[in-house]
A = this chain, B = another copy of it.
């Protein structure tokens, strides 16, 4: 049975990427070694490392005034690394979901943190009006969560504020065009749109990383890994290799503009179907809808459970909503083919017929 994996992350990797990784698993590029076992100091690995970096720079148009770092620990580690490196007096946060709230709450340990806007009043079904955002005088940065995995919202416009912008882009990186120059720092766990779990990307302006807090562990200092080209200690080589394969795949199909069109088409199919249905509902304000995560419900929690279980049996796996909100959530990252979304919609039609 063909399986479509709608998990929020880790999530589907492109078929071509997996096939290449499998084909070369025992003998990469004639080295006689698997990428899972080669020295991170070897020339053959360094080529992978550097190609992955330069492809990401190319795909996202990242200038030389930014470092591209390959780290570990996921976005959760960055919730702490960001303030430990960038918070000198105070920092402002916008809370648009669970992870945004967690980022703000971790930062509170390291300085004066203010939540200057929140969408909690309407259960995070929208993004606060960015034109009304004002950061505090002297704020070191404003932290936003570009796409909210659990609630299915995303920023469709960026705040224009005095403070430098820091964004968690874990669930949207490389899914649509963004202007990196608008950001002081972007971070993203790779396990949603890029590679297996265990790799975290940080794109950071070179001139802001030299004043970490004195209590910042050496391993969490951006300067440590920047100076060592992310080879201060052993990096997660295999995940970086698979990131390189994903970047090649994206580049070959036309880069971010090309995948963005596909993503808009896929999300459009699903949202249109839901909006035209009286059975399924998506609670998010239309202008803030995520291209990557589409939450929806049937008329009852009991039917939601039935839907999730029957979908799983039909090869549409991991479509249950996050435990904190229930319902369903279709995560349709870059690697989810159009066919997967169409198969889901067919299943939704049949389920509605049988259960309405």
In contact, B236 and A236 (Cβ under 8 angstroms): yes
Q: Which residue of chain B lies nearest to A220 when distances are taken between CB atoms in the complex?
A: B217
A180-188, A191-199, A263-271, A290-298: which lies at the B interface?
A191-199
In contact, A7 and B38 (Cβ under 8 angstroms): yes
Q: Contacting A21 at CB < 8 Å: which of B12, B25, B242?
A: B25
In contact, A18 and B34 (Cβ under 8 angstroms): yes
In contact, A10 and B219 (Cβ under 8 angstroms): no
In contact, B76 and A10 (Cβ under 8 angstroms): no
Cα–Cα, bound, A47→B239 (Å): 22
Q: Contacting A3 at CB < 8 Å: which of B21, B31, B72?
A: B31
In contact, A197 and B11 (Cβ under 8 angstroms): no
A259 to chain B, nearest CB (A): 17
Within 8 A of B (CB), among A3-31: 3, 5, 7-13, 18-19, 21-22, 25-26, 31
Count identical subunits in the complex: 2
Q: Contacting A12 at CB < 8 Å: which of B11, B37, B199?
A: B37
In contact, A40 and B215 (Cβ under 8 angstroms): no
For residue A138, CB closer than 8 A to chain B, the reply is no
Cα–Cα, bound, A7→B106 (Å): 39
A240 to chain B, nearest CB (A): 9
Within 8 A of B (CB), among A42-95: 42, 72-77, 79-80, 84
In contact, A235 and B197 (Cβ under 8 angstroms): yes
In contact, A32 and B12 (Cβ under 8 angstroms): no
For residue A33, CB closer than 8 A to chain B, the reply is yes
Cα–Cα, bound, A211→B41 (Å): 37
Q: Contacting A18 at CB < 8 Å: which of B10, B21, B26, B197?
A: B26
For residue A324, CB closer than 8 A to chain B, the reply is no
Cα–Cα, bound, A320→B40 (Å): 14
A189 to chain B, nearest CB (A): 7
Which among A40, A41, A235, A315 has the greatest number of chain B C-beta atoms within 10 A? A41
Q: Which residue of chain B lies nearest to A335 when distances are taken between CB atoms in the complex?
A: B37
Cα–Cα, bound, A69→B88 (Å): 33
A9 neighbours in B (Cβ, 8 Å):
39, 234
Residues of A within 8 A of B (CB): 1-3, 5, 7-13, 18-19, 21-22, 25-26, 31-42, 72-77, 79-80, 84, 106, 189, 191, 195-199, 215, 217-220, 232-239, 242, 315, 317-318, 335
Q: Could you list 11 further interchain pairs (A-B, Cβ under 8 angstroms) beyond the known A22-B22, A196-B236?
A: A8-B39, A19-B26, A21-B36, A32-B315, A72-B73, A72-B236, A76-B218, A84-B217, A198-B198, A198-B236, A198-B239
The 3 closest A-B pairs by CB, nearest first: A3-B32, A198-B236, A7-B39
